[in-house]
Chains A and B, each alone.
Chain A
Amino acid sequence: MTNILVIDDHPLITDGIKTMLAAHMEIVVAASVKTAKEALVLLEQRTFDIILLDISLPDGDGLTLCAEIRKTNKQSKIIGLSSTNETGIITQFLQRGGNGYLLKNMERQELIEAIEQVQVGKIYLCKGANEKILEQYRNIDVATQQVPVLTRRETEILQLLNEGLTGPQIAKQLFLSPLTVETHRKNLMQKFNANNAQMLLKLARQNRLIE
């Protein structure tokens, strides 16, 4: 028998989950609470196999509560319930010890599948969430290559710096204010994590951005 705790301030949602699981022999909604505070009090007294946790609660957000629960409770599997499928939220939830993530407009089959999956130690994500997370990893891949992408102005200024021109000279040549050139130069140094112009040029050469 799998015991479930539902933490959601919306009584209709709790009711819907109970209805979906009513006919299931193995899974039972053992308790439901509406606030993070109630949840923490209850979890001190009882343990549950699965916790279905709403991401937005009236007294704090589910991300914080998830981390809070994980401090003392490593066994229960926590599945996030949310009405948004924003990647940032999903990954944060998993990082804080969540085991799965479901959108509230799920169907019965999906809920049961999620419960079964997390119980055997797998991470379960709703269909939409999976795609989004993959997309994010693709982007992270790009970012971890570490070569900054340059804007057109930055490329121009980098070239001229390489030709040995000074800030004011570059400003004159590109019809920009010296202040703007200075801003671009600062941005470039920050992007390459360089302390001075020499180091900037060296790193840019290494990355074949200039000759």
Chain B
Amino acid sequence: MNTLFFSRIGLFLYAFLLIIKANGQAGDALADSLKRELSKAKADSNQVKLLMDLGNQVGYYDAAAAMKYAQQGLTLSKKINYRLGQARTHYLMGNTYLDLGNYRQSKIHLDEAEQLFSALKRPDMLGKIQNARGNWSYMQSDLQSAAYHYTRAVETFHALKDTALEIFPYQNLIASLGETKNHEKAIAMSKRLLKLVQKRGDSLQMAYSYNYLINNYLALNQMDSAQKYVTDLLRFIQSSMDLGLAADSYNVIGLYHFKRQAYHQAIANYQLALDKALRGQYQTAQYYHALGRTYLRLNALDSAYLYLRKAETQALVANTKDVYYRICHDLGSYFAKKEDYSQAYRYLQEYTKLNDSILVAETRHYTAYLEAAFENSKKETEILQLKTAELQKDLAIKKRNNYLIVTLGLLALGGIFFGLKVRNDQTRRKLLEQDKKLQAEKILSLEKEQQVSSLQSMITGQESERNRIAKDLHDGLGGLFSTVKMYFSTLQHEQPILGENPLFQKSMELTHTASVELRRIAHNLMPEVLMKLGLINAIQDLCNNINTSRLLNISLQAYGMEKRLNPNTEIMLYRIVQELLNNIIKHAQATEAIIQFNQHQERLNITIEDNGQGFNANEDNTGAGLSTIKSRVNYLNGALNIDSTQGVGTTVMMEFVLES
């Protein structure tokens, strides 16, 4: 089973917080100096900043402490009414709770942070929050939502023309692709991204790319291709300070050896991963599991059990289903080998249960979304490369100046506060951080006006795919069927006796049925009238068809809809109406329905009402149909209101603000 061999690579959880990547020791030293600074600071916004720096610094290896600093920062910012500080602390807490596996709290803080940052007009931070939301979904194996949020993050950073930031969610999207077993695609994307980051000289991102490449090649059992990148990755880890990534890297190298059946080498690498692991239970659970699994292969059952048990505990603490179910599988095998069948059965049952809920959930379906998301962001990234090259030239000059200013400033500070304790390399990294911030702000100020485009890309991708299939059906198969029928009818004309041959008649009839059926399928995929004549005509057609079938009597009224809308909006609205009508026909037992469009300037109201049996709109079990409608309305930034009275009927009202 392939998925068991696909190891999860840490996402960029803290990547946006921590720009200094320090090893443990240096980190402590920095934390100490920050603490000292803190004790001298007054209760003002500077103190909040210090608390935040501290939280970020320790967050990498001590989530509880990070939480403490964040909490202090939050209290203080509230007291002095420092809103940026509040927003930042919420963001930090959201990420830290996520790391701790507390999804509920994490969401609460991310929501708060998002509200504050959007009031503060900080699109860059909103992009980071989208990325964090992606991680939130990813860690709960909801890859579709993860892809949605990552894409939005990509789009946000893209609009800000910030390639450095854009790469993060992009990498995470690649991770999601791998998770959906779309390994070839993930490899292709990783390679493309690798080229880009190589050009930028971003060694951290290169290492992430190597990681993904190895992982995906291994999943495809292409050992030779994987090996090439293992060498590159090893070179990086040996020179890198990034512990979180180092741990993941050793893990993936361990997996490489595991697949080569070099179990002892695998164990050595997994141990290294464990030594380097910083990020709490999520990482350690994975590595313990890897060790346990390897010992299981070696038939060293006692060691295997030891590690699998540790892994199980950690996975449960971290509340991470995706690691846990894999552990269950191996614990099951362990007990089977021990001939303790009741325990084995228990674990295997747990495994099957989780495996079903995690993996069978229409993996293919996500894939279409993911691919569409990629195709869209990719094109733009290529354009972006050119633009950033220009910016970077400009920035290089500023950079030198910044170096001077910041070096002087920091040296002075260093003299007063830490003396010689702050080592040279820290200063340099701090400089880099400042420099990156300045760079980001520079780019930000250049493009402040840029609006963030919505998630249209995914949906557009899906719809354009449907459109393509419908076209192919019409042009390809449709044409063939039609031609066959033309030949048949000519044949019948030339050989009238065939008209009495039942087999011939049947062939002709079936060809006809096939072409009618094909037309129906293509029409459902993408009605031609929608493309050519617009929304109202298409809905009128839809209503005509339903009215003719006597399933329901629909009256359509449209006011102020003379001009055509943006094509994507039209498709979305069409799908919404179609789905609502489907619901009415399937569930409402109604005889009459009204569809009403009212457009006043840029505001569009859509009302759909039936006289059916109604339902309880507050109940959760409103079915998949309604949730797709909700998500489509959300994509259009619309508001949805459902008003249903049992025995009277249901009224659905939607309001949209159209883009001009």
A-side residues, CB < 8 A to B, are 10, 12-13, 15-17, 19-20, 22-23, 55-56, 61, 63, 83-89, 92, 104-109, 131-132, 135-136, 139, 142-143, 148-149, 151-153, 180, 183, 186-187, 190-191
Q: Which residue of B lies closest to A138 (CB)?
A: B547
Q: Which residue of B lies closest to A8 (CB)?
A: B479
CB neighbours (8 Å) of B596 from chain A are: 151, 187
Q: A10-B475, A139-B543 given as contacts; is B490 within 8 A of A152 (CB)?
A: no
B489, A139: Cβ atoms closer than 8 Å = no
Q: A56-B474, A104-B478 given as contacts; is B490 within 8 A of A19 (CB)?
A: yes
Q: What are 16 of the A-B contact pairs (CB < 8 Å)?
A: A19-B490, A20-B489, A23-B493, A83-B482, A86-B528, A88-B533, A104-B479, A104-B515, A105-B511, A109-B489, A139-B547, A151-B607, A151-B651, A152-B648, A152-B651, A186-B598
Q: A83-B519, A105-B481 given as contacts; is B493 within 8 A of A142 (CB)?
A: no
Number of residues on chain B facing chain A (CB within 8 A): 56
CA–CA, A133 and B315, complex, Å: 64
B474, A84: Cβ atoms closer than 8 Å = yes
A85, B651: Cβ atoms closer than 8 Å = no
B528, A56: Cβ atoms closer than 8 Å = yes
CA–CA, A13 and B482, complex, Å: 7
CA–CA, A136 and B533, complex, Å: 15
B532, A63: Cβ atoms closer than 8 Å = yes
Q: A151-B651, A186-B598 given as contacts; is B516 within 8 A of A105 (CB)?
A: yes
Give the contacts of B620-660 with A (CB-CB under 8 A): 641, 643, 648-649, 651, 653, 655
**B222 sits at the interface (CB 8 A):** no
CB neighbours (8 Å) of A152 from chain B are: 609, 648-649, 651
**B529 sits at the interface (CB 8 A):** yes
Chain B, 481-505, contact with A by CB distance < 8 Å: what is the 0/1 string?
1110111111011100000000000
Chain B, 513-537, contact with A by CB distance < 8 Å: what is the 0/1 string?
0011001001100011100110001
A20, B486: Cβ atoms closer than 8 Å = yes
Residue from the set A56, A86, A151, A152 with the largest chain B CB neighbour count within 10 Å: A86
**B454 sits at the interface (CB 8 A):** no
Q: How far is the CB of B542 from chain A (nearest CB, A)?
A: 10
A86, B547: Cβ atoms closer than 8 Å = no
A-B pairs, top 5 by smallest CB distance, nearest first, are: A16-B486, A107-B489, A104-B482, A108-B489, A88-B537
CB neighbours (8 Å) of B598 from chain A are: 186-187, 190-191
CB neighbours (8 Å) of A16 from chain B are: 482-483, 486-487
CB neighbours (8 Å) of B537 from chain A are: 88
Point out the residue from A17, A56, A107, A139 that lies within 8 Å of B540, measured CB to CB.
A139
Q: A61-B532, A151-B596, A186-B600 given as contacts; is B605 within 8 A of A86 (CB)?
A: no
Point out the residue from A104, A143, A187 that lies within 8 Å of B605, measured CB to CB.
A187
B512, A105: Cβ atoms closer than 8 Å = yes
Q: A16-B487, A88-B541, A191-B557 given as contacts; is B519 within 8 A of A183 (CB)?
A: no
CA–CA, A19 and B479, complex, Å: 15
B482, A86: Cβ atoms closer than 8 Å = no
CA–CA, A84 and B490, complex, Å: 23
CB neighbours (8 Å) of A148 from chain B are: 557
B651, A89: Cβ atoms closer than 8 Å = no
B479, A12: Cβ atoms closer than 8 Å = yes
A85, B519: Cβ atoms closer than 8 Å = yes
A190, B600: Cβ atoms closer than 8 Å = yes
B594, A89: Cβ atoms closer than 8 Å = no
Give the contacts of B548-563 with A (CB-CB under 8 A): 548, 555-557, 559-560
Q: How far is the CB of A203 from chain B (nearest CB, A)?
A: 14
Q: How far is the CB of A184 from chain B (nearest CB, A)?
A: 9
Q: How far is the CB of B606 from chain A (nearest CB, A)?
A: 10
Chain B, 468-481, contact with A by CB distance < 8 Å: what is the 0/1 string?
00000011001111
CA–CA, A28 and B493, complex, Å: 17
**B402 sits at the interface (CB 8 A):** no
CB neighbours (8 Å) of B479 from chain A are: 10, 12-13, 83, 104
CA–CA, A54 and B194, complex, Å: 47
B533, A89: Cβ atoms closer than 8 Å = yes
B529, A88: Cβ atoms closer than 8 Å = yes
**B538 sits at the interface (CB 8 A):** yes
CB neighbours (8 Å) of A56 from chain B are: 474-475, 528
Q: How far is the CB of A57 from chain B (nearest CB, A)?
A: 11
Q: A84-B523, A190-B559 given as contacts; is B594 within 8 A of A151 (CB)?
A: yes
**B265 sits at the interface (CB 8 A):** no
**B544 sits at the interface (CB 8 A):** yes
Q: How far is the CB of A102 from chain B (nearest CB, A)?
A: 10
B485, A135: Cβ atoms closer than 8 Å = no
Q: How far is the CB of B219 from chain A (nearest CB, A)?
A: 41
Point out the residue from A22, A132, A142 that lies within 8 Å of B555, measured CB to CB.
A142
CB neighbours (8 Å) of B532 from chain A are: 61, 63, 88-89, 92
Point out the residue from A22, A55, A89 that lies within 8 Å of B490, measured CB to CB.
A22
Q: Which residue of B lies closest to A112 (CB)?
A: B493
CB neighbours (8 Å) of B538 from chain A are: 88
CA–CA, A22 and B493, complex, Å: 11
CB neighbours (8 Å) of B488 from chain A are: 107
Q: How far is the CB of A63 from chain B (nearest CB, A)?
A: 7
A23, B490: Cβ atoms closer than 8 Å = yes
CB neighbours (8 Å) of B529 from chain A are: 84, 86-89
Q: How far is the CB of A158 from chain B (nearest CB, A)?
A: 14
CA–CA, A139 and B494, complex, Å: 43
B494, A84: Cβ atoms closer than 8 Å = no
A89, B557: Cβ atoms closer than 8 Å = no
Q: A152-B609, A191-B559 given as contacts; is B490 within 8 A of A12 (CB)?
A: no
CB neighbours (8 Å) of B609 from chain A are: 151-152
Point out the residue from B483, B556, B605, B655 that lies within 8 Å of A15, measured CB to CB.
B483
A86, B600: Cβ atoms closer than 8 Å = no
CB neighbours (8 Å) of B641 from chain A are: 180
